[in-house]
Amino acid sequence: MSRRIQISRNRSISHYVGVYVGRFRDIFSEELFCLRIPPNLLTILGVLCTMFAFYFLVGGAGDRIGRKNRTEMPAYVNESISSDISASMAGIYAGVLIFIAGMFDIMDGAVARRANRVSRLGAFLDSCFDRISDGLIFLGIMIYYLQHREIRYAHWYAILSVTALFHAELISYVKARAENFIPDCRVGYWQRGERIGAVLVGLFCGHIETAVAVLAIFPFFTVMRRVVFAVRQITGASHRGLSVSFRETDPSKDIPLKYFIRGSWGYDLMTIINLVLIIFIDIRVFHVFG
């Protein structure tokens, strides 16, 4: 029999954040239920918000906020080409719309549970719409850079965006496929909420290039973690980390850092590292591609 790893959810920062987010969700889902708003409508509204966000991402995902004229263009723009790419709030607008879409995504499941309308069909459609939304976000960023060849290494940022999309889709696919054979495959840090959060921070800080670089590199390890975890579960290998218990346990027994489950200190550490990278590092300025 596989050995279970117990998770502490009583001391970590993400535990408390999850508690408050859960309370917010429950309060608003109760209001939406009283208004008789169907959960499928919330799902559709979320996708519509992402579609509008796609429009703004294409128009200004990498724009710098507060730069009013061409004489203030930063060093990463080719000086031989006149451009005014930094004079818009499109990235902020896109971020706000993506955030609202995320709220709808949280609420639709909560309302469905409150109305006792949870179904396999609803879960299936919700999953499909999530994949569509991910595609719209990263394709919007990619198109922006394809349109702005005057930005130094714009083609690399477009490639990073596609790679980030590839990882986003593959992480979800591996989980869905693995759960045909094992009960759960939620291991690894980069779940959808974390990926969307990284995009939002990048947009609001004006460092979307750093965000897509992070999402083009680090989620690969979540893909491999899930593949290895599923293989070990399926083959019945007996060693440390074979299966994970997601129930609340003794706070003195923390999950190992490598699993990065929400509510653990390993998860908090990974979150802090990613926030620092995206908020304080602008890879355009550092010219990381040479």
Q: Which residues are catalytic?
A: 130
Query: Alpha-carbon distance 127 to 118, whole Å?
Result: 14
Three-state secondary structure call for residue 151: strand
Per-residue 3-state assignment (H helix, E strand, C coil) for 15-77:
HHHHHHHHHHHHHHHHHHHHCCCCHHHHHHHHHHHHHHHHHHHHHHCCCCCCCCCHHHCCCCE
DSSP summary character for residue 77: B
The DSSP H or E segment spanning 233 is: helix 219-235
Residue partners of 35: CB distance under 8 A and separation at least 6: none
Residue partners of 9: CB distance under 8 A and separation at least 6: 15, 18, 248, 249, 251, 263, 264
Residue partners of 111: CB distance under 8 A and separation at least 6: 29, 32, 33, 37, 38, 39, 42
Query: Alpha-carbon distance 277 to 97, whole Å?
Result: 23
Query: Alpha-carbon distance 187 to 258, whole Å?
Result: 9
